[in-house]
Amino acid sequence: MHPELKRRYRNLFSFYDKNSDGQLVFEDDLAPVADAIDARWGNNKRPFPNLLKLLYATYQKENSNRDLNNDGQVEPDEFVEAHERVVNNFQAVPDKARAFIRQAAGGFFSCLDLDQDGWLVPDDLAAYAEAYGHPSDWVETNLNTMLEMLGKPLGRIDLETFLLLIEQYWFDPSPNIPGARLFGRLPE
């Protein structure tokens, strides 16, 4: 796998590692994120019935798929190796992979879009960063930088642009594409 993608996946692992202990464990790192995303909806109608149950199932499945040695936790090397398989699958059948991205990331977009207007705004994205225990003061600037790079209006992101950034982050090793910034600027 391209070194730039490996670097991104290590950065993504660090983003997901809520308690910064070098391992992803559902109960410690991912369940609290699902709880925070669900709680953000308060009394509002959720985009999916049983949203918390859906988020738990999704995070458990993702973590299980990445847990290559089946020890109940995912370490950075496992995380990168598991994503290498995803990259290889994407390259083998890109249309099928894009359909999966649309379904999975599109569904997640809906989970973050609190007012369900089809746009994510900085507050939606900041809540996601905060759910993982990160400060969110960088989110709006980062979003606007990516949007400006794409020639899009600033301040909010639609589903199609979100999916493009996801695809770029996960699969395009070009270091200066907008999607490379999706989870914050990578360490040099």
User: Going from the N-terminus, what domains does the chain have, and what CATH number goes with each?
Assistant: 3-181 (1.10.238.10)
**CA 144/CA 139 separation, integer angstroms:** 9
Averaged pLDDT for residues 51-76: 94
Q: Which residues have C-beta within 8 Å of that of residue 140, sequence separation ≥ 6?
A: 122, 126, 155
Can you give the pLDDT at residue 185? Answer: 58
Full-prediction pTM beyond 0.75?
Answer: yes
CA-wise closest residue to 171 among 66, 84, 77, 78: 84
CA distance 170 to 8: 8
Say if residue 29 is exposed, middle or buried (CB neighbours under 10 Å; 0-12, 13-18, 19+): buried
Strand locations in 52-178 (E): 119-120, 157-158
pLDDT at residue 186, rounded to an integer: 46
Asked whether the predicted pLDDT for residue 97 surpasses 90, the reply is: no
Whole-Å CA distances, 147 to 64, 159, 179, 182: 33, 13, 10, 11
What pLDDT, in 10s, does the model give residues 120-164? 999 999 999 999 999 899 999 999 999 999 999 999 999 999 999
